[in-house]
């Protein structure tokens, strides 16, 4: 690896770590700061982790157990300490040690956060990666064809479908797909059928077909429209005319010259989209009953569960950083002008 | 080639897709004819003793905790009985019969020699855990100690802690107090006997031991907050796996002995419960026959209701039971001018309950218009109407009713009405719709209201349940819903009408009712072992509170439930708030 690339990577990794630290501080600040501004006390926060009609004693015990009776910087310090050197957790009859990096324990279900993230990540990864392959291939292909057949019935039909894809929410298209293909035609498994790849690859694949297609439909539509617009713009450029004038085959003009140029911005958006999705495809996971990071984040947010919110946010931020880094490196492959060294 | 007009294409597509959406759902789950609308409300239908198969449940939520000592949710209390046996339990039945508590792990109901201050239960012999070790009374004592006295388990009720005598040095629970005697007011003279000594008489103690917290926990297997991951089973099923937010899988407990358990049929070989599923998808799967029960028991989604009620075949598989809930408006006694009983009575008359019922979903999904605080089905309910209303043909309160409201306003010294606020939960759109309907009704007699919205999570802790906030902000009217922890007048009313339940925050006595006669009536009732006499007192408390006009009953909540035809032994349990009783469900092949 050239030295300059190595230095670039080191700079990006340091930047990513700094960003994650800032994200963790911001999440901590939002969790405690905004409710405080609105007047919420720590007692009220603790009461959400006690059963119906909580007593003052139960609230006090819970506040102490969750460290909510400590100042915010002390709580943040304890969390950072857990990440760096681990922490102990009192189960009642015993104390268990959570090794570094320990992201704390859920306020709601008292389980260590990191194993929950590890447990949920494969489902989200399966969903996002499969859908990404479908939407990238189909979206770009449709966009290219639409641009080449501009104004044709194909172009109009494709753009109408794309408009539908962008406009229809996943909880509509997902439920519709389930109603038709699972419950009416009985062709594919219904909601809640997801199993991990390691458990049964066949069922894993079958159970993800509808979620993949539904999720990809939304994104493919956007990509088709972007690709079409990009291609139309590129095809009007002077260098394309030059390439054609040189007698290059149309196929070469399209794939090596026009598409390559169009793909650069598409790739940027793809990196962002995939990174975001890896942090949790909330609606798709909810509609199809897939226990992924998206569901975990929603549970964390609705349950005032700071350690879980923090964990999912950091993972999502990490995915976005990594996806962007990969995209930046891929620019060099696609576009010789940005090649390093 | 003729070009397709884009708009027409979109229209055709939408028509096609909506048509297909309507096709969602298959053959009423099993294909056989349903038992009839409301058939399971008052009797157990599709009776069966056929063993085998898999019972499939799903829910859009998760347990608060599946640990019997650390759960409060009604559906969870219902469900955990599949793997745990408490001293008593609600009778697996339907209708009023299902409100009875009957012996489960105990041989009989509690024996009290001193009018409810001491309660003794004898355990059945031969009951074993899934690992083959015998269940003893010490395990029941330990279960109550850990669930009520430890700092860690905070999600369940704390009634034992509230009513049992404490040690001379306050007992800190078994995780901190390692003394062999533990809580001295629970005695276990032998392995089959347990005695509870209360601080004062409590005649409804049998209802407390019917809660999941009396399900035994062997100390050697207790892992505190982690216990939910690996629980000891004393019921017919053991928990093979529980994954938060995903699923729970039960299989037969090889050491369960039917001869020790006269109330359970234990029909399915396997029980699966899927967690955190989409509510709409649960409905679709129920209709398609790929799911047997929506474990939440609070009814189908709004979009599914029409589908069920317009199709007679599907309607024959539905039940519309009362859910043991009351939706009501509380009037705070310290917010002027509602400190005057006549102003409160004016609000009673001028509240358009029918409009509020419609706003909440109508008679089927919302419930029946209410006139009492105690809902039907709760022990002590008496039908009466202190503030009778009549409605115009096309809707809205008629002149006679509005006149009654105006007359009360005159007596209150506010002949032209007054201004106040109505509080509702911002994330409960139907509650806000109710507030708007109420606002319109009150406007007719000059009562002007502003609707104030607060998030559900902090509603009681920070806003309407905090008297200081209510007084300071002049929140006169507060919407809420309430159900009982056990189905008697005491279980229902004590937290919302007893003056001693008023708290600085997190309280449920929103009007801050502190009527000495009502407080005394609660004491008289709960110290009386004659259940008929208690029931009579509860009716009187309801009447007194309505005389004070502190709460406006709006609707007795109902829900539309769907039961696939293949589901066996189906009955609505009033004991668990109008959901199906899960104890003896089976699946017909």
What's the pLDDT tens digit per position in B501-545?
A: 898 877 899 999 999 999 999 999 999 999 999 999 999 999 999
Across the range B579-588, mean pLDDT stands at: 95
* B287·A41 Cβ contact <8 A: no
Cα separation, A284 vs A214, in Å, equals 8
**Cβ contact (<8 Å) for A175 and B506?**
no
Minimum CA–CA partner of A196 in chain B: B246
Model pLDDT, residue B2: 39
B479 φ, ψ (degrees, to nearest 5):
-85, 140
Span B314-326, average pLDDT? 94
Cα gap B552→B330, rounded to integer Å: 6
Token reading at A13: 């990794």
A180·B6 Cβ contact <8 A: no
Whether residue B245 and residue A192 make contact (CB cut-off 8 A), yes or no, is no
Assess contact for A159 and A167: CB atoms under 8 A: no
- pLDDT for A298-317, tens place per residue? 999 888 899 999 999 999 99
**What pLDDT is stored for residue A338 in this prediction?**
62
**Of residues B25, B243, B285, nearest to A191 (C-beta):** B285
- Nearest by CB to residue B274, choosing from A56, A111, A192, is A192
Can you point out the beta strands (E) in B217-360? 237-243, 247-252, 270-274, 293-294, 318-319, 322-331
Q: Name the range with the highest mean pLDDT among A52-56, A90-94, A205-209, A251-255.
A: A205-209
Which residues of chain B lie closer than 8 angstroms to A47, CB-CB? 461, 505-506
CB A284 within 8 A of CB A291: no
Query: What is the rounded CA–CA span in Å between residue B126 and residue B218?
Result: 16
Sort out which chain A residues have CB atoms less than 8 A from B155's CB and list them. 50-51
Name the residue facing A287 among B4, B72, B281 (closest C-beta).
B281
pLDDT band at A136 (very low <50, low <70, confident <90, very high): very high
**Termini Cα distance of chain A:** 11
Q: Where residue A11 falls among pLDDT bands split at 50, 70, 90? A: confident
pLDDT band at B10 (very low <50, low <70, confident <90, very high): very low
Mutate to test the interface with A, among B171, B462, B496 (most CBs of A within 10 A): B462
* Inter-chain CB proximity A92 and B224 less than 8 Å: yes
- pLDDT of A151 reads 86
Q: Is the pLDDT of residue B28 over 70?
A: no
Please tell me whether the peptide bond between A101 and the residue prior to it is cis, using omega within 30 degrees of 0: yes
Helix (H) and strand (E) counts in chain A? 14, 2
Q: Is B533 on the interface with A (CB under 8 A)?
A: no
Residues of B in contact with A171 (CB under 8 A): 278, 280
**In chain A, which residues have their Cβ closer than 8 Å to the Cβ of B213?**
none
**Chain A environment of B287 (Cβ under 8 Å):** 183
**pLDDT at residue B8, as a whole number:** 41
- pLDDT(B199) > 80: yes
Q: What token pair was written down for A130?
A: 């499969």
The answer to whether B20 contacts A184, with C-beta atoms less than 8 Å apart, is yes
The distance from CA B463 to its chain's CA centroid, rounded to whole angstroms, is 23
Q: Which of B153, B154, B156, B294 to mutate to test the interface with A (most CBs of A within 10 A)?
A: B154
Minimal Cα–Cα distance from B294 to chain A, Å? 13
Q: Which residue of B has its CA nearest to A111?
A: B226
Position A167 scores a pLDDT of 84
Q: Distance, in angstroms, between A99 CA and closest chain B CA?
A: 17
> Are B158 and B72 contacting, i.e. CB atoms less than 8 angstroms apart?
no
Q: Which residues of A touch B492 (CB under 8 A)?
A: none
Contact with chain A for residue B157, Cβ under 8 A:
yes
pLDDT band at A30 (very low <50, low <70, confident <90, very high): confident
Nearest chain A residue to B8, by CA: A160
Tell me how far CA of residue B542 lies from CA of B3, B126, B515, B538, in angstroms.
Answer: 72, 45, 12, 6
> Tell me, what's the pLDDT at A141?
92
Q: What is the share, in percent, of chain A residues with pLDDT greater than 70?
A: 96
With beta carbons under 8 A apart, name residues in chain A contacting B146.
92
- Place B4 in a pLDDT band, splitting at 50, 70 and 90: very low
B290 in A contact zone (CB under 8 Å): yes
Distance CA A217, CA A210 (A): 10
Least confidently predicted of A219-223, B135-139, B503-507, B541-545: B503-507
| Mean pLDDT score, B208-232 | 97
Mean pLDDT of B123-138: 97
Of B17, B225, B284, Cβ closest to residue A178: B284
Measured distance between the N- and C-terminal CA atoms of chain B, rounded to whole angstroms:
55
B58 touches chain A (CB under 8 A): yes
Could you read off the pLDDT of A164-206 as tens digits, one per residue?
888 888 889 999 999 999 998 999 999 999 999 999 999 999 9
Alpha-helix residue ranges (DSSP H) falling in B327-383: 341-350, 353-360, 362-365
Average pLDDT over every residue of B369-397: 95
DSSP state of B198: B
pLDDT for the residue numbered B63: 92
Model confidence band, residue A38 (pLDDT cutoffs 50, 70, 90): low
Tokens in use for A245? 């004038």
Q: What digits encode the pLDDT tens for the residues B332-377?
A: 999 999 999 999 999 999 999 999 999 998 898 889 999 999 999 8
Inter-chain touch A289–B3, beta carbons under 8 Å: no
Looking at beta carbons, which residues of chain B come within 8 Å of A40?
A: 458, 462
Mean local confidence (pLDDT), B97-119: 96
Chain centroid offset of residue B255 CA = 32
**Taking residues A40-48, what's their average pLDDT?**
79
Cβ–Cβ contact B33 with A under 8 A: no
- From A21's Cα to the closest Cα of chain B, the distance in A is 28
Most A CBs within 10 A among B3, B4, B276, hence the mutation to make, goes to B276
pLDDT of residue B302: 84
H helix and E strand count, chain B: 18, 22
Q: In this model, does residue B115 exceed pLDDT 80?
A: yes
User: Is the confidence at residue B416, as pLDDT, over 90?
Assistant: yes
pLDDT for the residue numbered B213: 97
Are A287 and B462 in contact (CB < 8 Å)?
A: no
Distance from CA of A177 to the nearest CA of B (A): 9
Q: Do A91 and B4 count as a contact with CB atoms less than 8 A apart?
A: no
Residue A275 — very low, low, confident or very high, per pLDDT cuts 50/70/90?
A: confident
If you measure CA to CA, which chain A residue comes closest to B228? Answer: A109
For residues B558-587, average pLDDT: 95
Mean pLDDT over residues B455-469, rounded? Answer: 83
A157·B244 Cβ contact <8 A: no
* C-alpha triplet B296, B301, B306: angle, nearest 5°: 135
Which residues have C-beta within 8 Å of that of residue B254, sequence separation ≥ 6? B130
The verdict on a CB contact (< 8 Å) between B245 and A295 is yes
Cβ of B224 under 8 Å from any chain A Cβ?
A: yes
> Can you tell me the mean pLDDT for B68-89?
96
Give the gap in angstroms from C-alpha B57 to the nearest C-alpha of chain A.
Answer: 11
Higher pLDDT, B452 or A263: B452
Q: Is the Cβ of B503 closer than 8 Å to some Cβ of chain A?
A: yes
A63 vs B134: which has the higher pLDDT: B134
At B303, is the pLDDT very low, low, confident or very high (cuts 50, 70, 90)?
confident
pLDDT at A302: 84
pLDDT at B17: 38
> Could B225 and A47 be called an inter-chain contact, meaning their C-beta atoms sit closer than 8 Å?
no
Residue B188 touches partner A, C-beta closer than 8 Å: no
Percent of chain B scoring above 90 in pLDDT: 85
CA distances from B266 to B90, B257, B398 (A): 16, 11, 55
- Nearest CA-CA distance, residue B225 and chain A, Å: 5
What is each CA distance from B577 to B81, B366, B417, in whole angstroms? 16, 15, 39
Q: pLDDT at position B222, please?
A: 97
> In this structure, what token pair is assigned to residue B460?
């009681």
């Amino acid at each position: 690896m050239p030295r300059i690339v190595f230095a670039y990577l080191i700079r990006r990794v340091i930047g990513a770590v700094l960003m994650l630290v800032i994200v963790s501080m911001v999440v901590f600040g939002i969790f405690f700061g905004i409710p405080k501004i609105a007047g919420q006390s720590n007692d009220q926060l603790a009461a959400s982790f006690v059963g119906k009609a909580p007593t003052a004693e139960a609230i006090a015990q819970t506040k102490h157990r969750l460290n909510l009776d400590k100042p915010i910087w002390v709580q943040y310090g304890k969390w950072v300490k857990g990440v760096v050197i681990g922490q102990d957790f009192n189960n009642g009859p015993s104390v268990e040690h959570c090794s570094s990096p320990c992201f704390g324990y859920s306020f709601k279900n008292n389980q260590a956060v990191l194993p929950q993230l590890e447990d949920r990540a494969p489902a989200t990864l399966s969903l996002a990666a499969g859908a990404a392959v479908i939407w990238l291939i189909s979206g770009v292909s449709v966009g290219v064809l639409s641009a080449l057949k501009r104004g044709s019935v194909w172009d109009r039909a494709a753009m109408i479908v794309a408009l539908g894809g962008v406009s229809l929410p996943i909880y509509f298209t997902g439920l519709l797909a389930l109603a038709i293909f699972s419950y009416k035609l009985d062709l594919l498994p219904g909601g809640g059928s997801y199993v991990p790849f390691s458990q049964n690859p066949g069922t894993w694949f079958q159970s993800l077909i509808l979620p993949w297609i539904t999720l990809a439909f939304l994104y493919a539509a956007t990509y088709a429209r972007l690709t079409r617009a990009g291609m139309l713009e590129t095809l009007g450029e002077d260098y394309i005319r030059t390439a054609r004038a040189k007698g290059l085959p149309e196929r070469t003009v399209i794939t090596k010259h026009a598409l390559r140029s169009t793909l650069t911005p598409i790739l940027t958006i793809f990196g962002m989209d995939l990174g975001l999705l890896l942090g949790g495809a909330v609606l798709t996971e909810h509609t199809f009953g897939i226990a992924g990071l998206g569901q975990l984040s929603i549970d964390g947010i609705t349950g005032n569960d700071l350690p879980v919110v923090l964990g999912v946010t950091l993972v999502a931020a990490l995915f976005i950083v990594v996806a962007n880094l990969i995209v930046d490196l891929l620019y060099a492959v696609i576009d010789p002008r940005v090649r390093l060294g | 080639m003729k070009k397709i007009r884009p708009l027409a294409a979109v229209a055709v597509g939408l028509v096609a897709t909506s048509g297909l959406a309507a096709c969602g759902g298959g053959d009423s789950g099993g294909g056989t004819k349903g038992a009839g609308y409301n058939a399971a409300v008052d009797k157990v239908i599709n009776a069966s003793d056929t063993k085998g198969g898999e019972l499939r449940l799903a829910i859009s939520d998760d347990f608060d905790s599946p640990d019997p000592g650390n759960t409060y949710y009604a559906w969870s209390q219902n469900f955990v009985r599949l793997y745990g046996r408490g001293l008593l339990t609600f009778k697996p039945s339907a209708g009023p019969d299902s409100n009875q508590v009957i012996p489960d792990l105990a041989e009989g109901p509690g024996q009290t020699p001193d009018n409810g201050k001491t309660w003794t239960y004898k355990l059945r012999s031969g009951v074993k855990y899934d690992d083959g070790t015998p269940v003893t009374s010490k395990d029941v004592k330990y279960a109550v100690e850990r669930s009520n006295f430890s700092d860690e388990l905070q999600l369940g009720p704390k009634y034992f802690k509230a009513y049992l005598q404490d040690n001379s040095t306050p007992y800190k629970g078994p995780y901190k107090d390692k003394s062999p005697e533990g809580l001295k007011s629970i005695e276990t003279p032998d392995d089959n006997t347990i005695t509870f000594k209360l601080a004062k008489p409590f005649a409804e103690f049998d209802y407390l031991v019917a809660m999941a917290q009396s399900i035994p926990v062997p100390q050697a297997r207790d892992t505190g907050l982690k216990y939910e991951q690996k629980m000891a089973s004393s019921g017919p099923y053991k928990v093979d796996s529980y994954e938060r937010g995903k699923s729970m899988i039960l299989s037969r407990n090889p050491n369960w002995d039917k001869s020790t358990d006269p109330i359970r049929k234990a029909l399915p070989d396997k029980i699966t419960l899927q967690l955190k599923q989409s509510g709409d998808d649960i409905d679709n799967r129920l209709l398609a026959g790929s799911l047997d029960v929506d474990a939440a028991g609070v009814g189908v989604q709004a979009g599914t209701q029409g589908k069920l009620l317009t199709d007679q075949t599907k309607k024959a598989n539905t039940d519309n039971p009362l859910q043991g809930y009351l939706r009501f408006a509380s009037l705070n006694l310290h917010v002027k001018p509602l400190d005057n009983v006549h102003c409160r009575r004016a609000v009673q008359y001028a509240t358009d309950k029918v409009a509020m019922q419609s706003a909440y979903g109508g008679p089927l999904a919302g419930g029946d218009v209410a006139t009492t605080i105690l809902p039907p089905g709760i022990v002590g309910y008496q039908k009466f109407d202190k503030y009778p209303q009549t409605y115009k043909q096309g809707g809205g309160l008629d002149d006679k009713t509005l006149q009654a409201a105006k007359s009360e306003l005159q007596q209150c010294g506010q002949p032209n009405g007054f201004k106040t606020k109505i509080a509702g939960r911002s994330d409960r759109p139907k509650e806000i719709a109710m507030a708007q309907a109420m606002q319109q009704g009150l406007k007719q007699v000059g009562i002007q209201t502003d609707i104030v919205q607060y998030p559900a999570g902090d509603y009681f802790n920070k806003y309407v349940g905090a008297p200081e906030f209510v007084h300071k902000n002049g929140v006169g009217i507060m919407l809420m819903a309430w159900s009982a922890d056990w189905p008697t007048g005491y279980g229902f009313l004590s937290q919302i009408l007893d003056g001693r339940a008023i708290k600085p925050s997190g309280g449920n006595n929103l009007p801050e009712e502190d009527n000495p006669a009502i407080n005394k009536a609660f004491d008289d009732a709960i110290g009386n072992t004659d259940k008929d006499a208690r029931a009579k007192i509860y009716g009187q408390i309801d009447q007194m509170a309505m005389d004070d006009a502190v709460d406006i009953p709006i609707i007795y909540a109902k829900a539309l439930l769907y039961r696939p035809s293949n589901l066996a032994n189906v009955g609505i349990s009033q004991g668990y708030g109008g959901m199906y009783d899960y104890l003896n469900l089976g699946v017909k092949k």
